[in-house]
Structure 1
Amino acid sequence: MSVQQVDPLDDVLSLVGTRSRLSVGLVAGGTWALDFDPPPYVKFNAIRRGSCLLTIEGEEPLPLAEGDCFLLTRPRRFVLASGPGVPPVPAGPVFAAAAGGIARAGDGGDVFLLGGRFDFGDRARALLLDALPPVVHVPGGTPAAATLRWALEQVDAELRDRPPAATLIAEHLALIMLIHILRVHLAGAPQAGPGWLGGLADPVVAPALRALHADPARPWTVAELARAAAVSRSTLAARFKQAVGQGPLDYLTGWRIELAADRLRRGDGTLAAIAHAVGYGSESALSTAFKRVAGVSPREYRRVPGAISARP
């Protein structure tokens, strides 16, 4: 049996409506420290020159060197500083006084940070962000950071030379950086579960996950998924439960409900058409599964879209 495979990361990023926006850069020197309020979005920074110290509320201080990147995935207060023990000043006024797209702290310019933000749709926290640690750090000196270095150099060129559509291109490059940071995290964090990210890091579970995402409307059985993963049914069932936190068919149900909920939010088609598209033979079958997973009927959800409990 030949099974097409699709990357679940691509599916989830598309479903949560990822958008990027570059922010004011930061040039700093000497002794300095900036205290940032908890951001209501995913914060991104890259150290283009010099080094500094990142301290996130509830986490150990993290030294950052030239070429390093980090994602802050939780709305937590954080401090960027020249080193430990420096009393921080609020970052807000410093960035409000930025000139020419650059905020300045301390004396001199031996440190330069490029920053940005990623905004997501309502389901991003449950589908993606909760599966990540509070901070994802990619050291610049590692081979895995090569693509990030290339993207950052392109962003620098766009913002420096300002050709037509420079901001748009730079923000698309930021999305490339986000995807690559997530790839690096997956490659280096086999303990990333439980959840679909943990499944992608498992060489047995990943092929089954990709098969499910390639054709979620297919009436999958555990035996078919085991063949896609080239293991026995019992092996797949055990590994899937361990890595993802639920069985493969329960995961499939949750993903189908996510797809149905996305179509309902967008007003995309009748309930019968949505049911057929996500793998249910009738509107009533979809309604039963949707209410069991989400706690409300599809019609109720369409009227007042809200949080649902489905979590692939």
Structure 2
Amino acid sequence: MDPLHDVLTLVGATGHLSASMEAGGSWAVEFEAPAGIKFNAVRRGRCWLRLDGSADSLPLVAGDCYLLTRSRPYTLFSDPEAVPVPAGPIFLAATGGVARAGTGDDFAAVGGAFHFGERARTLLLDALPPLVHVPGAAAEAATLHWAIDQVDRELRQQRVAAGLVAEHLALVMLIQMLRHHLAGAAGSATGWLAGLGDPVVAVALRELHQRPAHQWTVAELARAASVSRSTLAARFRAVVGRAPLEYLTDWRVELAADRLRRTDDTLARIAQLVGYGSESALSVAFKRVTGHSPRAYRRLARPR
């Protein structure tokens, strides 16, 4: 199995486009901290992006895309001397699906948001930097803009199952952004996402995801990766930040949490499916990872 596919499926990623924005002249628009994970694509012109709490601004040009993974206010601007205006009223006054700022239309961008299930922060978002920038010259950018064009066309024409098509295309956009991040982060980042870019660690991750209920040993994973036991253990911890079997415990707990949310399976059945020999063994691991017993977690996740 592909670990990235597994995690995106588990966190229930969905996405949508919001109103596009046009601007010109000297302008600055201040956005509140987004509820979801914000993304934008610059279609025309240029501007700068400044995240709240950051001293530096990121220059953006036509073709560039970015993903904001933290709930932090941010500002888009053409002129650092321009007084920022709140984005809320501008987008409420949007006409024809286009919000406008400044004077003119030499700048245009389209954006939206991704939304995830409750465990997304732990599983995916904490492994990402606050800002993922995909330059227009990157190979992934062409696919991003193609997907945005397709989503826009589907929603404007209101074809059969347009909403479903738009959701799947939004997921394509997210995957392309993550691919770009992984390609650029090789050797400099940690976490399971970074592990996907390491040829040794990636093999071990795929094995663990393919058979999470198997009673793995580090020696067995090392054989699959064609390295020594000590090499795999050291490399996995250095890249992922956890030992291989610690990662396996956390992944089994995530799989159990998913079943507790979605099914009426007994704890004994869930324990068997995710690789624990007893309900009590699952309960101990589950509480250590989530802070809740499986029964308490199910009550919280599925209120009557």
Q: Which TM-score band applies after superposition, normalised by the shorter structure?
A: over 0.9
Amino acid across the alignment from 2:15: S
> Match of 1:150?
146
**Equivalent residue letter for 1:298:** P
Q: Which residue of 2 aligns with 1:90?
A: 86
Q: 1:63 aligns with which of 37, 59, 70?
A: 59
Q: Could you tell me which runs of 5 or more consecutive residues in structure 1 were left unpaired when the two chains were aligned.
A: 1-5, 307-312
The two structures have a TM-score, normalised by structure 2, of 0.93
TM-score normalised by length of structure 1:
0.91
- 1:175 maps to 171
1:194 Cα offset (Å): 2.7
Q: 2:34 aligns to what SS in structure 1? A: coil
**Which of 113, 121, 127 is residue 123 of structure 2 equivalent to?**
127
The one of 243, 256, 262 equivalent to 2:239 is: 243
Cα distance in 1 for partners of 2:85, 2:148 equals 28
1:282: Cα distance to partner?
Answer: 1.9
Residues in 2 aligned to 1:41 and 1:195: alpha-carbon distance in whole angstroms: 22
Q: 1:1-312, aligned counterparts within 5 Å?
A: 6-59=1-54, 60-159=56-155, 161-191=157-187, 193-305=189-301
Bigger mean CA deviation after superposition, 184-193 or 238-247:
184-193
- 1:186–1:192 CA contact under 8 A, matched in 2: no
C-alpha separation in 2, matches of 1:153 and 1:301: 41
161-170 or 285-294, which moves further after superposition?
Answer: 161-170
The alpha-carbon distance between structure 1 residues 69 and 286, as it changes in their structure 2 partners (threshold 3 A), is same
Contact 1:132 1:192 in 2 (8 A): no
Question: Which runs of 5 or more residues in structure 2 are unaligned?
Answer: none
The answer (yes or no) to whether the contact 1:192–1:201 under 8 Å persists in 2 is: no
**Matched residue type, 1:44:** F
- Indicate how the Cα distance of structure 1 residues 95 and 215 shifts in structure 2: closer, same or farther if over 3 A, else same: same
Report if the CA contact (8 A) 2:30-2:84 is conserved: yes
Structure 1: which amino acid aligns with 2:47?
Answer: C
Superposition RMSD in Å: 1.8
Determine what percentage of the aligned residue pairs are the same residue.
Answer: 64
Could you tell me how far apart the structure 2 residues matched to 1:168 and 1:298 are?
33
Distance 1:281 1:182 in 2: 36
Against the structure 1 CA distance between its residues 168 and 299, is the aligned structure 2 distance closer, same or farther, given a 3 Å change threshold? closer
* Residue deviations 1:227-282 (CA, integer Å, cap 9, x gap): 22111111100000101111101110111011111111223411111011101122
Q: What's the secondary structure of 1:39's corresponding residue?
A: coil
> By how many angstroms is 1:192 displaced?
5.5
